[in-house]
Amino acid sequence: MKTLKDINFKNKKALVRVDFNVPLNDDFKVTDNTRILAAKPTIEKILNDGGSVILMSHLGRPKGKEDKFSLKHILPELEKVLGHKIIFVSDSIGPEVKKAVKNLKPGEILLLENLRFYPEEKKGDENFAKALADLGADYYINDAFGTAHRAHASTAVIAKYFDKNHKAAGNLLEKEVVSIQKALDEGQKPVTAIIGGAKVSSKIGVIENLLNKVDNLIIVGGMAYTFLKALGNKIGDSIVEDDKIDLAKKILAEAKAKGVNVILPVDLVVADRFSNDAETKIVSIDNIPDGWQGLDIGPKTRQLIDEVIQNSKTIIWNGPAGVFEFDKFATGTENIGLAIGKASEKGAYSLVGGGDSVAAVKKLNLTDKISYISTGGGALLEMLEGKTLPGIAALTE
C-alpha cells in the first residue's frame, strides 16, 4: 500500500476521502473537531508539496439532500483548524464540480458537498464512484479510517479507477493501521486486552481473534454477565444474552486451551434499578440479590485489573466497564483509563478506541499519556477481528 511519502504532489490534484462526520449543535456549529484535526497532516503534506486538495466526506445519515446535513456547516471550523480558505461546491459530482476542480490552483482546497446526498454512495454504486473518479483529480487518497470498513463508492469502489501509482493511504489511515498492528501483531509481551460494552454479541469476532494474540483478556461491562452466568453465577436482573451462554462457555474453554488468562469481575456495584438515582451496593459476584443489576465493576475487580495492566507491556482497550453515562457507575471505566495511563508512562504501548473508552480518557486528561487513540469505531473493531477492511484492500488491488 502506497503512503503519502511515496508521492510528490507538486502541481497535482488529490481527491482525498476524509471523515468529516463531526457532531454539530442546534446552531450547526462543530462541537468536536477531532476528526478535522486528524485529517490536517494529510492536507498539509499535499499543499506543502505544491499540490491542491479536493476534500470529500459524508456527514450524518441524510435522507436525500437535507440542508441540515450540508457540509457547508463545517466550513468555518475547517477554515479555522486548517488556517486556510476553503472553496465549497454544493454538489459532489457533475459539471459544476468538474469546473471547480479544473480551476483549482496549487495551494487551494476545494470541499465537495455531502457524499451521502447521493444514495449511490452507500450502495457502492460503480457509476457514482466513476463520476467521482472522473472529476479531474490526479490521485485518490483515502484518509477516512472511520469508514474504511465500508465498501462505499468513495471509500473503496472509486479506487479501482486509479492505478497503483495514483492511489494511497493518507497520513491518518496509515497511522491507524500501523498503530493497531503494533499492538495486535507486534506487541511486546505480556499483551493485555480489556474488552467491555453492553453485549458480547457485538464483539464475538474481536474476542475470538484476541484469543490468538493476547496473554490476558479482561472482560468487563454488560457482556461480562453472560460469562458470569455461563460459569454458574446468579446474576439477578443484570443484562445478559441467554442465547450466547454456550458461546461464552466455548470462548472460556478455548482461552484455557490457548493459555490465555481470562479476567472477569469478582465484585460489582449493583443497583436496584437502571438509573443514576438508584440505590447501590457492592457485592461479590456470587451474591447478586434477586431484582438487582450489576452496573459497574467493584473495588476488588478494579484493583485486580490495575495489577494486570501494570504488569503488561502492551494494552488494548475497547468498551466501558459499566454504565459510564451515569456518574455513579463510571468509576470502573475511569479507573481502567487511569491504570492504562500509568502503565503507559512506565513504557507500555497502549491502544484505546471506541466512543466510551476514548471519552473516559479525554475526560481524565489522559490523551497525551496513551500511545495511540484510534479515531475508528466499527473500523477499529473490524481490524481487531483480524479482517482486511475494504477501504484498505482497495488501495492495494
Q: Which residues are catalytic?
A: 35, 199, 355, 378
CB of 268 to ligand AMP, least distance (A): 8
CB of 324 to ligand AMP, least distance (A): 6
Cis peptide, bond prior to residue 190, ω within 30 of zero: yes
Give the nearer residue to ligand AMP in terms of CB position, either 267 or 356.
356
Residue nearest to ligand AMP (CB): 197
CB of 241 to ligand AMP, least distance (A): 12
CB of 13 to ligand AMP, least distance (A): 39
In this structure, are residues 148 and 174 in contact, taking their beta carbons and an 8 Å threshold?
Answer: no
In this structure, are residues 291 and 236 in contact, taking their beta carbons and an 8 Å threshold?
Answer: yes
In this structure, are residues 296 and 285 in contact, taking their beta carbons and an 8 Å threshold?
Answer: no
**Based on the number of CB atoms within 10 Å of its own CB, is 106 exposed (0-12), middle (13-18) or buried (19 or more)?**
middle
Give the nearer residue to ligand AMP in terms of CB position, either 129 or 224.
224
Q: Which of 345, 369, 376, 348 is nearest to 175 (CA)?
A: 376
Cβ atoms within 10 A of the Cβ of 99, count? 12
Q: Following CA atoms 337, 267, 270, 251 in sequence, which dihedral angle do they give, to the nearest 10 degrees?
A: 80
Cβ atoms within 10 A of the Cβ of 30, count? 21
* Site residues (vs ligand AMP, CB under 6 A): 197-199, 202, 221-222, 239, 294-295, 319-320, 322-325, 354, 356
Give the nearer residue to ligand AMP in terms of CB position, either 7 or 206.
206
Give the nearer residue to ligand AMP in terms of CB position, either 62 or 236.
236
Query: Where do we find the cell 464512484?
Result: 129
Cell of 288: 447478586
CB of 122 to ligand AMP, least distance (A): 21
In this structure, are residues 190 and 393 in contact, taking their beta carbons and an 8 Å threshold?
Answer: no
Give the nearer residue to ligand AMP in terms of CB position, either 75 or 198.
198
Q: Which of 163, 159, 58, 193 is nearest to 112 (CA)?
A: 58
Give the nearer residue to ligand AMP in terms of CB position, either 62 or 319.
319
Distance of alpha carbon 55 from alpha carbon 113, whole angstroms: 9
CB of 239 to ligand AMP, least distance (A): 4
